[in-house]
Amino acid sequence: MARLRKKSAKKAGKKTGAKMADQAALFARARKVLVGGVNSPVRAFKSVGGSPLFVEAGSGPYLFSADGRAFIDFCLSWGPLIFGHARAEIVAAAKAALERGSTFGAATVAEVDLAERIKAALPSMELIRLTSSGTEADMSALRAARAFTRRDLVIKFAGCYHGHVDSMLVAAGSGATTLGIPDSAGVPRAFAKTTIVVPFNDVSAVEAAFKKNKGKIAAVIVEPIPANMGVVFPAKGFLEALRRIATREKSLLIFDEVITGFRVCYGGAQTVFRVKPDLTILGKIVGGGLPLAAYGGRKDVMSMIAPEGPAYQAGTLSGNPVAVAAGIAALDLLRDENPYPRLGKLAGHLAAGLQEAAVAAGVPLRIQSFGSMLTPFFLEGEATDYASAMKADKAAYGRWFHAMLDRCVYLPPAQWEALFVSAAHGEREIAYTIAAAREAFRQ
């Protein structure tokens, strides 16, 4: 491990073990100027305890902290870095774009190039609008759906996360789950009332919601493979049933593929399951690690968005040329290299190794994985929805997280999130992580 860290540290342009800023001191300093000391809640380590990790650099599968330590990274900025940190082609593309200008507030050819690539990969996205974040894309897709159907209500599934949109912070996953906040303060009750929450994988609950609210539901929004309550599998026929019901009720089906888009395969979960949504939301990988997201879908629905239609949505930095360049480079690499079989194999080895290590130590653990993403639930039995996922032992995960951190493996600092494997990881990193887990489980 020391040799691997030294080699990767050299690539990142820094030395491991150097005397640098103390993590606790950095956190104390940050809390004087940043809310909670962070710019996104889950980074604060409240779910696992202790002070958060301040990062200085990344290279391939490694993170380098501000106090000079190196870690094998399985958080990968919560999913975007499918090629690991600082992939040369992506860095070069972003650098070249930045040298031409950071932002123009005007149309560019590169935006068209990226949109054409997205449409080729996901044909359901007939028209596309780029945004700067997944939350913006979620909010805008919902607005388009309501404008098109002239209805107000939306069905979402408990534990699925769709950004910090006011009406979607109801039984949300991701950070809201991590912090134990199913609803957020500051959300008007009237907004929350526009959202109907039903259990994931429960078709009968969806049918009942439509029956009770006949002609009032604009859309059903879902993560086709939830990863914000941990990786949970859609039951056989579940997504197909949502498609059938939405069509019958003249409602729209929205797939939130911020995580799964270009992660589970080049065409996303809708390609894997062969279910065509009316609208799709993308983020993370589509920006190559820079702030960029997109929403798109049926031409008649997307034509509701200004300037074509009456539903307003805008953004000064939408389609930012630097992020677009990184996104194009990432998608071209994915298309040309097709890393998915290898990613699935590596993730499978990691999942099997972690499971075996837990069994040997007598630790109740269930690994749920899909492609290159997985969640170790400290749980007996399967997590099939929000309620069953919430039975996982958060405290046990926190102890394991820190035991792994002590062994130079960086995992998501939250039980109900996904680990990600990148194309930069190799069998050596996987083997080291499994060996570290054996020690950590026995601790």
Strand partners, 252: 219
Strand, helix or coil for residue 111: helix
Spatial contact of 31 and 23, defined as CB atoms under 8 Å apart: no
Distance CA 382, CA 300 (A): 40
Within 10 angstroms of residue 367's Cβ, the number of other Cβ atoms is 20
Spatial contact of 416 and 177, defined as CB atoms under 8 Å apart: yes
Spatial contact of 242 and 222, defined as CB atoms under 8 Å apart: yes
Distance CA 421, CA 61 (A): 9
E strands in 263-417: 279-282, 293-297, 366-370, 373-377, 409-410
> Which residues are within 8 A (CB) of 241 and not within 5 positions of it... i.e. 6 or more apart?
203, 206
**Closest C-alpha to 253, from 282, 275, 269:** 275
Segments in 61-195 forming alpha helices (H): 88-100, 109-121, 134-149, 174-178, 189-192
Task: Choose the catalytic residue: 161, 295, 386, 397.
Answer: 161
Spatial contact of 436 and 409, defined as CB atoms under 8 Å apart: yes
First to last CA, the chain: 20
Task: Choose the catalytic residue: 67, 73, 138, 256.
Answer: 256
Residue 291: half-sphere exposure toward Cβ, Cα within 13 Å:
10
Amino acid at 294: A
Distance CA 138, CA 225 (A): 16
**H or E element, residue 254:** strand 252-257
Spatial contact of 325 and 166, defined as CB atoms under 8 Å apart: no
Task: Choose the catalytic residue: 138, 284, 386, 410.
Answer: 284
Residue 284 annotated in active site:
yes
Distance CA 55, CA 62 (A): 11
Residues identified as active-site: 161, 256, 284
